[in-house]
Amino acid sequence: MTFRLTCPVCGKRDVYEFTFGGQDRGPRPAQEGLSAEEHFRWVQFRMIPGGWEGGEGGGVREGDRAAPQEEWWYHGQGCGVWFRTTRDPGTNREVEGGGGG
Ligand SMILES: [Zn+2]
């Protein structure tokens, strides 16, 4: 399966030009009052193409539809910049500003 990503410099390009940099998990949670489970989730639970890395069963469970997520991508075969985009892992489509399309 292929899809296109929008590089902020080069525009829409085939995904094969990019390297997946992982899900943007936001800032590291504060250590104080952080439960082991919360820490585990922050460290371990991130989406990889095709499913949840570190998730139980190693895949997306039925009915457990993944929501659009912020991801880091590297345009290695292009301009060489890192950028963040919002992508729906279910459709592999970029989501722009939460609008329809
Ligand atoms: Zn680029």
pLDDT tens for 43-62 read 665 545 555 555 444 455 55
Q: Is residue 100 part of a domain?
A: no
Report the separation in Å between the CA atom of 5 and the middle of ligand 1, taken as the mean of its atom positions.
Answer: 10
| CA 97 / ligand 1 centre spacing (Å) | 20
Residue 20 belongs to some domain of the structure: yes
pLDDT digits (tens, 9 = 90+) for 7-32: 999 999 999 999 998 877 777 777 78
Domain annotation covers residue 36 = yes
Report how far residue 30's alpha carbon sits from residue 34's, in angstroms, rounded to the nearest whole number: 7
**Confidence grade of residue 66 (pLDDT, cut at 50, 70, 90):** low
Residues forming beta bridges with residue 86, ordered by sequence position: 70
Euclidean distance between CA atoms 13 and 75, whole angstroms:
9
Burial class (CB in 10 A: 0-12, 13-18, 19+), 65: exposed
- Enclosing domain of residue 58: 4-94
User: Which residues are found with C-beta within 5 Å of the ion, ligand 1?
Assistant: 7, 9-10, 75, 78-79
Residues in the chain: 101
* Number of structural domains in the chain: 1
Residue 99 forms part of a structural domain: no
pLDDT score of 99: 44
Q: Quick check: is 54 in a domain?
A: yes
